[in-house]
Structure 1
Amino acid sequence: MSTATEKAQFGGFWQRRVVAPIVAQLKQGITPEKIALTLALGAVLGIFPILGSTTILCAAIGIWLKLNQPVIQIVNYFMYPVQIALLLPFYRAGETLFGQPHVPIFSVTELMQRFQSSPTQFLVDYGMVGVYGIVVWALVAPLLLAGLYYGSCPLLRALGRRTR
């Protein structure tokens, strides 16, 4: 497959899955600010450091703020690789912030040994790692949300003017 073909396919995917839904929202009269909020919240909630929770978080916040569910969920799903990449940094930063030793996360053997020796302590230790990660996310999230929102508003306003 040639590079031009790959670019065309990626452009087609990007156009269909990202740009077209946003343009459709603008044509329906949704404000660029509301779309920017939807995109920013989808991205920020999409990196929440607990696997399997972001779809529900995006749905709940989207319903509460009357945001477009398909758009917020698309952004959430696109953030999945970023969420995976940020899990360990969130967890380690949280352990450091709270002055706790790092618990092993990637050693299956050590995870099994810790669980077999004390299932209750295992749940406490790893539950707290999740809490530490959430705290770090909660510290970073408002800054990231503001940056994404205020960074995307001018772009969406310009796109809105082009679509009218």
Structure 2
Amino acid sequence: MTNVFNAIGLWFQKKVVDPLGVILRKGAEPKQLAFSTALGFVLGVFPICGVTFFLCGMAIALLGSFCHAPTVMLSNFVATPIELSLMVPFLRLGEAISGGDHFPLTTDALKKILTGHASREVLESIYHALLGWLVASPFIVIALYILCLPIFKILIVRFNPPLSSL
């Protein structure tokens, strides 16, 4: 069992921690890193699987120098496992906002989706999940920005010590 934890730890080090260290040593601004992290995360939890990479690419192209592309993509990558866990809350939020019918999450509904026999209810549930994400996204971005800004200020100082006077 410890081999599994070691393997996960090594994978996390290689895929998340090491790239973050490279990003911090490049000298980006804490505000830009905090915004890029929040943006990448919120786009990474978009409730339609498989499109988050393209959404991040479009955001990077549109925002240009306002965001830090590697940080957006890294936080999108980190958010991927969380994406699936937030689909149901986004769905329920969208149903509550629109007053739509409660979509039953059953194996029958999943079977219809997988076999291509998606009904109107399934399409409505996708609409509700998108609506829930759209409403929650600004709050998620703001909360993550507020959380990440002091963290990045500390990390940048730690990874970029001041130059000693000669």
Tell me if both proteins adopt one fold, taking TM over 0.5 as the criterion.
yes
Say yes or no: does 1:140 pair with 2:136: yes
Q: 1:159 to 1:101 in 2, by over 3 A?
A: same
Deviation at 1:161, TM superposition (A): 0.8
Question: Cα RMSD between the aligned structures?
Answer: 2.9
Q: Distance in 2 between matches of 1:8 and 1:58?
A: 29
Counterpart selection for 1:156 from 148, 152, 157: 152
Q: Distance in 2 between matches of 1:101 and 1:18?
A: 40
Percent identical among aligned pairs is: 28
Tell me what 1:19 maps to: 17
Q: 1:24 to 1:102 in 2, by over 3 A?
A: same
Deviation at 1:7, TM superposition (A): 5.4
Structure 2 unaligned blocks of 5 or more: 161-166
Tell me the TM-score normalized by structure 1: 0.78
Q: 1:110 to 1:161 in 2, by over 3 A?
A: closer
Tell me what 1:49 maps to: 47
Q: 1:62 to 1:23 in 2, by over 3 A?
A: same
* 8 A contact 1:104–1:111 mirrored in 2: no
Tell me what 1:129 maps to: 125
Q: 1:8 to 1:134 in 2, by over 3 A?
A: closer
